[in-house]
Amino acid sequence: MFCGNKSPMLGRLPSFDYYRPATLDETLTAMERLNGNFCVLAGGTDLLVGMKERRGRHPALLDIKALPELAGIRADNGTLCLGATVTTRAIAQSPLVRERFPMLFQSMKLLGSMQIGNRATIGGNLANGSPAADGAPPLLALGASVKLVGKTKERWVPLDNFFIGPKKTIIEGELLAEVRIPTPPPSGRGIFYKLGPRNAPEDICIVSAAVYGVPDGGANGWKELRIALGAVAPTPIRARHAEERLRGQPLEPKLVEEAARIAADRDATPISDIRGSADYRREMVYVLVKRALEQIARDYPSAA
């Protein structure tokens, strides 16, 4: 059954078993016992909608919101550590994030309404594997890693290697426990742009772009220049061809324009859907990447 805007009407939740372990160890034991027949429940803002739309099988839900091991934001030896169950609103309200990770702050501020932000977790935003996840481009551009834990092993994975397809990640019966982000040097500059259907924060983006740069202080322009894109490929991506074009060169207007065009035409592989056509998305990649690079060049005229 469909309503006017052709999105499926939400039905009632199907029945499911519900577990709310008190510790990480209890959770991992339950995961082992359930042998893959479970689904992790964090904020539920994606999962519960999917269940109401009868997407996928959810025989048992493991609620991880109460786990102390997955909570909290802290700085540790030059790294920002975000517990998987930290809400996107808590990240947007963190003075540490606002001051040292403005690009991440910006993306979290723009993620959903206040109600969504109060439930949605950073772990859920990444583990959901959406190409349009607002947290993904800034975290990719900042070189973040995620910690995946199972009963017998744990591993750290660069976020670059985490997404493998639409709604698919490398998680294999594991829990995403933590996100770690190297603290940028004081000269590092990051910009996040999100284009939504009505430019309202509660909208899932049509296109998003994060650009992060560290000037090298010399004639070669930039020590680091990373570009990440959302909603224009099967996964959130780094715009590697555009980055390559910019390597070791000052951000001059002609080069900026060329790199933005490469990001749109070579790195992005968008599809058309209800939010926008592939052509429009490509053009918006060009606009957002160009605008972000120009902004960075204006902030650091000596490296431009």
Ligand X SMILES: Cc1cc2nc3c(=O)[nH]c(=O)nc-3n(C[C@H](O)[C@H](O)[C@H](O)COP(=O)(O)OP(=O)(O)OC[C@H]3O[C@@H](n4cnc5c(N)ncnc54)[C@H](O)[C@@H]3O)c2cc1C
Chain residues in the site for ligand X (CB under 6 A): 39-47, 49, 64, 84, 88, 111-112, 116, 119-121, 123-125, 127-128, 133-134, 171, 175-176, 202-204
For residue 171, give the amino acid letter.
I
Identify the CA nearest to 228 among candidates 126, 300, 153: 126
Which residue's CB is nearer to ligand X, number 127 or number 293?
Answer: 127
Which residue's CB is nearer to ligand X, number 64 or number 227?
Answer: 64
Q: d(Cα 181, Cα 179) in Å, to the nearest integer?
A: 7
We find the least distance from the C-beta atom of residue 262 to ligand X, in angstroms, to be: 26
We find the least distance from the C-beta atom of residue 304 to ligand X, in angstroms, to be: 31
String of DSSP letters for 16-50: -EEE--SSHHHHHHHHHHHTT--EEESS-TTHHHH
We find the least distance from the C-beta atom of residue 125 to ligand X, in angstroms, to be: 3
Which residue's CB is nearer to ligand X, number 120 or number 227?
Answer: 120
Which residue's CB is nearer to ligand X, number 64 or number 239?
Answer: 64
Q: d(Cα 304, Cα 301) in Å, to the nearest integer?
A: 5
Phi, psi dihedrals of residue 16, rounded to the nearest 5°: -160, 160
We find the least distance from the C-beta atom of residue 222 to ligand X, in angstroms, to be: 28
Which residue's CB is nearer to ligand X, number 101 or number 222?
Answer: 101
Which residue's CB is nearer to ligand X, number 112 or number 190?
Answer: 112
Specify whether the CB–CB gap between 141 and 184 falls below 8 A.
Answer: no
We find the least distance from the C-beta atom of residue 173 to ligand X, in angstroms, to be: 10
We find the least distance from the C-beta atom of residue 283 to ligand X, in angstroms, to be: 21
Phi, psi dihedrals of residue 221, rounded to the nearest 5°: 85, -85
Structure tokens at 166: 């639409």
Question: 190-200 as b/e, with b when 16 or more CB fall inside 10 Å?
Answer: bbbbbbbeeee
Q: d(Cα 90, Cα 80) in Å, to the nearest integer?
A: 14
